């Protein structure tokens, strides 16, 4: 059992060859039957392969097991007894590795979400969807206007200077009227 790389609230069932040689005729048995919760209630079986012909060193087989928030309170078992049986790289000797898979360690844990390339792709799809809704025209949407910024800014400066000169002239005229007999 390990958290998914996409989101730690998702837990995957992983069968990985940690050895230095290939494992052949790999068989996984788990009791009770592996089930996942279904959104809205209920559960469904998790598909497991009958046999994996070979797992080379560091190779893994992985499937989604469950979404932790949905599993809590779903009435599914917490503890599973697992056994992986396999032959050596020559296909001669048979080995068996027992394991216990326990959901109780996942139910009370806290996690932090790390955003990665998957999230960037999701955000890009949302941006594309939003942009696809925009139409240019009188009914709204997106319009782009270009202007000669320097020319417009120069006109604005000239208008401001003319207004200030006018205000100064008016103020001077009022002073002249007040000071004349």
pLDDT at res. 152: 83
pLDDT digits (tens, 9 = 90+) for 18-36: 999 999 999 999 999 999 9
| 143 assigned to some structural domain | no
Residues of the chain with pLDDT under 50: none
Closest CA to 28 of 96, 103, 101: 96
pLDDT at res. 107: 77
pLDDT at res. 141: 63
Phi, psi dihedrals of residue 84, rounded to the nearest 5°:
-110, 125
pLDDT at res. 77: 94
| 97 assigned to some structural domain | yes
Q: What is the extent of the structural domain holding 11?
A: 2-113
How many separate domains does the chain show? 1
| 133 assigned to some structural domain | no
Q: Residues near 84 by Cβ (< 8 Å), separated by ≥ 6?
A: 15, 26, 27, 28, 96, 97, 99
| 42 assigned to some structural domain | yes
| 160 assigned to some structural domain | no
């Amino acid at each position: 059992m390990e958290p998914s790389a996409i989101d730690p609230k998702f837990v995957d069932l992983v069968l990985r060859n940690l050895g230095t040689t290939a494992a052949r005729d790999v068989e996984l048995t788990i009791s009770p039957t592996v089930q996942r919760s279904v959104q809205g209630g209920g559960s469904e079986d998790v598909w497991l392969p009958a046999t994996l012909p070979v797992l080379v060193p560091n190779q893994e087989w992985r499937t989604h097991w469950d979404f932790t928030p949905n599993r809590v309170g779903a009435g599914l078992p917490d503890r599973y007894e697992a056994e992986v049986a396999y032959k050596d790289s020559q296909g001669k000797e048979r080995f068996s590795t027992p394991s216990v898979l326990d959901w109780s360690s996942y139910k009370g844990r806290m996690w932090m979400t790390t955003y990665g390339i998957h999230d960037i792709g999701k955000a890009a799809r949302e941006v594309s969807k939003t942009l696809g809704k925009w139409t240019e025209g009188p009914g709204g949407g997106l319009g782009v206007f270009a202007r000669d910024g320097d020319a417009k800014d120069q006109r604005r400066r000239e208008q401001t200077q003319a207004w200030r000169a006018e205000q100064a002239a008016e103020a001077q005229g009022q002073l002249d009227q007040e000071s004349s007999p």
